[in-house]
Homo-oligomer: A and B are copies of this chain.
Amino acid sequence: MKLSRHSDYALRAMIQLATSGDELVSIRHIAQTYGISHNHLMKIAQGLGRAGFIEPVRGRHGGLRLARPASEISLGALVRHTEGEDSLVDCTGCLIAPACGLPDVLAEAMQAFLAVLDGYRLSDIANRSHMLRALFDIPTSAGPSQNAADPVQCPAD
C-alpha cells in the first residue's frame, strides 16, 4: 500500500511550484532540488500540464508555474490524476465475482480515502511558506540567500 513514485514526485513538484508563487521554475531545477530523475520528472510535468494543473512556458527563461492558485487545487484531484481511479482489485476471471461483495466494499473505502484528500488544498500542504521558501532557497524581499543558482543539496543523498 504505497503511492507510486510518480505520485510522490508530482506532489513534490506541485508543492515547490506553489511555494514559488508566480515565478517560473524549470523542471531541471525541481529535479535537482529533490535529487530525482530529470527525464522522469519531465513526463510527470507533461501529464500535469495536460491535466491543467500547471502551465508550461517554453523558451529561454521558461519553466513551470501553477495554472491555478494553490488554494483552488485539491489534493484529491491530484492523486486521482496521478494514481488513476481504477478499482483496487482485478476481478476478471475470478470464479466468485458474481457473488463477491468485496469490490463494493473496497470502492467505498477508496472513496473515503479520496474524500479526505478532497478536503485539503495544495495551499494547506504548502502552508509553512517561510520554512519551505528557505528550504527551496527562494530569495525573499527581506533577505535573499547568497547563492540562488545552486540550491541546497539533500544531505541524506
Contact = CB atoms under 8 A, between A and B. Distances in A.
Interface in A102-141: 102, 105-106, 108-110, 112-117, 120, 124-128, 131-132, 135-136
A2 B116 CA distance: 18
Interface residues of A, number: 53
A11 B124 CA distance: 36
A2 B2 CA distance: 9
B105 A75 contact: yes
A100 interface: yes
Contact of A110 (B1, B90, B131, B136): B1
A157 B93 CA distance: 6
A89 B152 contact: no
Secondary structure of the A contact surface, majority rule: helix
Interface of A: 1-3, 8, 11-12, 15-16, 33-35, 75, 83-84, 86, 88-90, 92-96, 98-102, 105-106, 108-110, 112-117, 120, 124-128, 131-132, 135-136, 152, 154, 156-157
A54 to B, nearest CB: 18
